[in-house]
Every structure is written in C-alpha cells, then in structure tokens.
C-alpha cells in the first residue's frame, strides 16, 4: 500500500500530528504536499537514482519530504541533527546529494556543509534562512498532482558511528510500483498488527532508521503518526492517554527514564490503549523490562537488527517472560555463532553473531568495509551472544567493548545492567581502562539522578551494590561521576568516546 491510496479512501484522516503544536496533516494533505515536493525535485533536475540530504529536526515537513523522494525514485539520506558542518559535509559528498532540506535552526550547518550546491538546491522550512531558499516559496504554484514518471525510491541511512566513522548503508532501488509492500512493512504488519485506525507515537529523532522506517510503514497501512519533537518521559505518558496511542517504538533508556518518574506521576495517566510497544537499538536490562511489563502489561515487544538489515530477530512479551533476556528467534537470516577462529559453536556457547542468507546490502563507496563484515557465514556487526537449544538469541555485548582483565574475558553489559537498576543511577557506562598488573581494569562512569550526591559515599554504595549481585571480576574497581554521558538520541551509548578519553590520559 501507499499513502496515495489512503488519500482517496480516507482523505480527512490525520496522517501526521505534531505532538508539541498539535498541527495536523491529513492524508489528503500529505498526498498534495509530497506531490508538490516531487515536482520541485524534478524541476531541480533530480532523476531516478539521484540523492537528497535531509538535515532536519522533528517537524511536519520531514515525512512529506521523504514520501516525495520515495515517489520520485530518489535516495533520501536523513542525517543526524548533532553533526558539525564537516561531518555533514562528508555525508553529503559521500552520498552525492544534489539537494538538501534543512530546518532553520540547522541552516547554518547545512549551508557550510554544501558549498557546491546553489541556494535553489538548499531548501529550508519555516521562514527560510540565509544561503537557502524557503521551501514554502519554492513550492508556491507547483501542482498537487502526481509526477508523470513516478518510481520507487528508498532511504540510505548512515550508521550512527558508535564504533567509527559513519557508513552509508545502501540497498538496491526497488524496481516495482511505488505502492508495492516491501519486506519490512510486511514483516511489521505481521508481527505488530499494523493497520488502519492505529495511533502510533514516535518519540525518537526521525533521522534514525527505526523511527523513520516505522513511521513510513504506519502510513502505508493508513494509521496516524504522532511525532514528538523531543522525548520527555511524562509528556510521552500524557500523549499516550491524550491520543489513545495503540503502537509505539522506543529504546531502553526511555523505559529507564519513565520508570524513574515519581510513583504519583507514573500512575496519573491511562495507558490502557497501548497494544504494542516495540523496543530495540540497545540491550534492555532484564530488571527494566520486567518492571515495564509489570506496569504496562504484556505489550512490550522486542527485535534485534541493524541499519544494514541483514538479519532480524523478534520476540513477543509472552516468549520473553519464558526466556528473560532473549531478543528472540530469527525471522530473517540464519543465526550462526562463531568463535575467534571461525568455528561454529553449539547451543549456549558464546561467540560472534553472524546472519547467513539475510538481506543483501553494501556500504556506499566503501567495498573494503562491506567485505570486512561479509563472510561465508554471513554478515556480522561486532555483537557477541549465544543461541539456546530452541533457537532464541541472547546478546552478551559488543566485541569492541569486551574487557580482558587478568586473562579473563569480561563483558561490561552485565555490570551496566546491574548499576542502572540502582535508584540513584540515571545512566552508566562500563569499559576497560589500562592496568599495569591486570592489563585492563573494569571501570564505570555514572550519571547520577542528582549530581549533588556524586562523591565517595555514592561510589562506595554503588560498588557494594554491584558486588553483591555479580562476581567481583565483573565489577568496576572505581566509579567516576558525570552530569551527562555521551548518548545518541536513539539510545546508543558512545562508549568509544569515553574509553578513548581514558586510554589517551593513560598514554
């Protein structure tokens, strides 16, 4: 399906609602706006296979721009709003983008990142900005009818760079009509009951893979997307009640922030409309997920995948309660667990995770990186885990963050999952630092809920807390405190930045 079908069948149904302003765009409006933008893109000379870049905050124009590119056969590259001009310029150049869409607040970065583009190819929403053309002015007078040469486009998203430089993940342009149901949409419809009448709350930045793709999947099935400009835990709960939200997609850090709201706030809102709350992007501590299911009921669904889309596992709340900590069974690609020598491992043996026979992809302009993750056993992205006798996958950690202390392999995720359950901890990162005797020592950096409590007393309390629950070899030897940890808007922790900082200090 495609939004143009719903523009005919249910023209007045809201396609997008902006949570902060309450602004509404109906399916008729989405069809008209995406058609105008498609005509604009053709007028700029963009043809099938060309690329555009999007550097925008969560705002009303974001999804119509994506739908315009989709129906014009273009590659649309949504970029992080946290990028510097140099970082954005790298992605624009690497992707070959011939136009860029930006928000006024990001226009200065967009202009600096695109010295080779004419102002007419820099489209700014709202009132516009210097060096750009105001999108509303560029669209004035353009037809709302469909372009004559529609064909299917798709996204090309860049990895978040948690372990290195961002990589553009490129798949082949679809060859069929623009309303064909792609594999992802068919899968989410089957797993999560997507369909007409659903109310979907999107709390994360739209430039990230899951929020963007899930929102567009909702539109394919005729549902309404309520977009939060920025996540706030109590506002999220209020919106669920206000709009009778049936579906949502979150990350575990959002669960943690909601669980640490005062009891009277958590109990203030009616969440009974929620049928499916999907989470992914980062490992969810078992205690956190148990607490969410106890609060919301058995509506918490989980999947494990990557921007590359080479594999996909899924697990229902009922399955998870029977196997706490699992991310499910594979529904795309055969899971293979290998040791460091490339030998296949048996059930419950921990090793590197590979997906064999899943979707194909390549890293744009980087065949060496593509080759580095593709083997005879399939694709691997640096994650460590095990598969039980029934085929359920359990994640252990990322290989890059494994600590070797005194010859023992230590996976920091266990200590992180334990510390985050302490009531005074808002966020935590555990990693290895140099140690003359042990090679590496386990170290923690904690973001306390109240920075005023940071100090020796809280450190001692947290060390006792984790040592009472884990083997001492897995526990931090010391804890430092910071007001905020470097975490991506999508929930991924930039642990590499912290680790690099400590190793640089150690020489």
Which of these three, 165, 191, 217, is where a domain ends? Answer: 191
The reported pLDDT for the residue numbered 160 is 61
Residues of the chain with pLDDT > 90, as a percent, come to 72
User: CA 492 from chain center: how many Å?
Assistant: 8
Question: Per-residue b/e over 433-452, b at no fewer than 16 CB within 10 Å?
Answer: bebeebebbbbbbbbbeeee
The reported pLDDT for the residue numbered 74 is 98
Q: Which residue, 230, 262, 232, 228, is CA-closest to 245? A: 228
Which of these three, 191, 214, 249, is where a domain ends? Answer: 191
30 lies in some domain: yes
Number of domains in the chain: 2
**Cα(13)–Cα(223) distance, rounded to whole angstroms?**
8
The reported pLDDT for the residue numbered 164 is 54
Give the domain CATH number at 15.
3.40.50.980
Q: What is the pLDDT of residues 150-182, one digit of tens each?
A: 999 999 998 765 445 688 888 889 988 999 877
27 lies in some domain: yes
241 lies in some domain: no
Band the pLDDT of 361: cuts 50, 70, 90: confident
Residue 243 or residue 365, greater confidence: 243
Q: What is the pLDDT of residues 100-151, one digit of tens each?
A: 999 999 999 999 999 999 999 999 999 999 999 999 999 999 999 999 999 9
Band the pLDDT of 310: cuts 50, 70, 90: confident
Report DSSP letters for 127-160, one per residue: T--TTSEEHHHHHTT--SSPPTT-B--EE-EEP-
451 lies in some domain: yes
150 lies in some domain: yes
Which of these three, 142, 164, 191, is where a domain ends? Answer: 191
330 lies in some domain: no
- The one-character DSSP state at 73 is T
Decide if 238 contacts 269 (C-beta within 8 A): yes
- Continuous segment of H or E residues that includes residue 126: none
Q: Which residues constitute the domain of residue 9?
A: 3-191
Phi, psi for 87 (deg, rounded to 5): -65, -45
**Cα(35)–Cα(4) distance, rounded to whole angstroms?**
10
261 lies in some domain: no
96 lies in some domain: yes
């Amino acid at each position: 399906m495609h939004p143009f079908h719903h523009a005919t069948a249910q023209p007045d149904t809201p396609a997008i609602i902006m949570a902060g302003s309450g602004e509404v765009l109906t399916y008729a409006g989405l069809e008209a706006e995406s058609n105008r933008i498609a005509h604009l893109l053709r007028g700029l000379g963009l043809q099938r296979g060309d690329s555009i870049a999007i550097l925008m905050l969560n705002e009303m124009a974001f999804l119509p721009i994506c739908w315009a590119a989709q129906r014009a056969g273009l590659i649309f590259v949504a970029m992080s709003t946290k990028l510097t001009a140099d970082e954005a310029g790298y992605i624009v150049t690497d992707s070959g983008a011939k136009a860029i869409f930006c928000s006024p607040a990001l226009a200065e970065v967009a202009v600096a990142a695109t010295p080779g583009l004419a102002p007419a190819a820099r489209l700014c929403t709202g009132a516009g900005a210097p060096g750009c053309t105001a999108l509303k002015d560029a669209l004035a007078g353009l037809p709302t009818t469909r372009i004559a040469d529609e064909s299917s486009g798709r996204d090309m998203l860049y990895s978040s760079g948690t372990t290195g430089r961002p990589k553009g993940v490129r798949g082949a342009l679809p060859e069929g009509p623009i309303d064909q149901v792609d594999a992802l949409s068919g899968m989410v419809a089957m797993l999560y009951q997507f369909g007409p009448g659903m109310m979907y709350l999107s709390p994360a930045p739209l430039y990230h893979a899951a929020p963007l793709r899930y929102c567009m999947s909702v539109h394919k099935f005729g549902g309404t997307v309520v977009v939060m400009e920025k996540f706030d835990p109590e506002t999220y709960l209020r919106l669920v009640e206000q709009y009778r939200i049936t579906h949502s997609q979150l990350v575990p850090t959002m669960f943690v922030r909601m669980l640490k709201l005062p009891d009277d706030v958590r109990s203030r809102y009616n969440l009974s409309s929620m049928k499916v709350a999907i989470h992914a992007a980062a490992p969810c501590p078992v205690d956190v997920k148990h607490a969410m299911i106890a609060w919301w009921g058995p509506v918490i669904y989980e999947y494990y995948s990557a921007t590359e889309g080479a594999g996909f596992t899924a697990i229902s709340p009922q399955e998870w309660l029977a196997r706490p900590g699992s991310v499910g069974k594979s529904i795309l690609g055969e899971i293979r667990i290998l040791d460091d020598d490339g030998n296949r491992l048996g059930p419950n043996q921990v090793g590197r995770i590979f997906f064999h026979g899943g979707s194909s992809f390549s890293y744009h302009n980087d065949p060496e990186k593509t080759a580095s993750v593709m083997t005879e056993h399939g694709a691997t992205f640096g994650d460590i885990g095990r598969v039980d006798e029934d085929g359920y996958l359990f994640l252990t950690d990322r290989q890059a963050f494994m600590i070797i202390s005194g010859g023992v392999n230590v996976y920091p995720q266990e200590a992180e999952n334990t510390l985050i359950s302490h009531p005074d901890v808002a966020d935590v990162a555990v990693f290895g630092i140099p140690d003359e005797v042990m090679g590496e020592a386990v170290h923690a950096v904690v973001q306390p809920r109240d920075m005023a409590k940071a100090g020796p007393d809280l450190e001692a309390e947290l060390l006792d807390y984790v040592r009472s629950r884990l083997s001492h070899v897995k526990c931090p030897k010391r804890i430092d405190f910071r007001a905020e940890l470097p975490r991506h808007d999508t929930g991924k922790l930039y642990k590499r930045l912290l680790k690099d900082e400590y190793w640089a200090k150690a020489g």
